[in-house]
Amino acid sequence: MQEQLYLHELRMRGEGLPQPLAARFSSNYSTILAALVEDRLSEDEGRQFLSRHRRLLAAAREGLRVARDPDHLREEFALKLEALYGEIVQRTLSMEEVPETLRTPVVNGFEAWLGELLAWAESGKHLAGGRLARLHTKLADLERFEQIYKADGVLQKFEREKLHERLLDLALEVVEVVSR
């Protein structure tokens, strides 16, 4: 499973595409994930950017596979990737704008990892629909509690501990579901 997720990440970074297109896909992917983990981008915005990234990646792979003018197509996708990067940067907060007391990098990193696991599972039909839906619901619950706890602008120690408990419970369930 871990190997498959690693291969998924390489594909998300544009592996197999011509340089510098692959480098731009990799950069955008890293930028989105870093912003999510560092609380500089909301989970919803991060999911939207990752979804757009996936669609661009799929279109680039398919387009280059059948292109009569691959150079023109590479330039076209480079422009689309630059535009996406510009939107990501525009909507991403700076580190100074995110209070240190509200940052939850462990939770956010897990949420991003689980989101990618679910995207991988959906793309390849690696998990049954019911199991996949349950994990989506649990991930949404974790994100909802995170937002509730942060809503007053202060993340108390007991709230952080509750988030980590929920994260650990979900992590155990994910491992159990995925290892079947």
pLDDT averaged per 10 residues in sequence order, the chain, 180 residues = 81 93 96 95 92 95 89 92 97 94 91 84 74 86 93 92 92 78
Domain of 2, in residue numbers: 1-98
pLDDT of residue 129: 74
Model-level pTM? Answer: 0.85
Written as six digits, the tokens of 120 are 């991988």
Q: Are residues 70 and 50 in the same domain?
A: yes
Last residue of a domain, one of 83, 98, 113: 98
Between CA 58 and CA 31 the distance in angstroms is 19
Q: Are residues 34 and 92 in the same domain?
A: yes
pLDDT of residue 18: 92
Question: Does residue 23 contact residue 13 with C-beta atoms inside 8 Å?
Answer: no
Burial of 50 from C-beta contacts in 10 A (0-12 / 13-18 / 19+): buried
Instruction: Spell 67-76 as b/e; 16+ CB within 10 A means b.
Output: eeeeeebbee
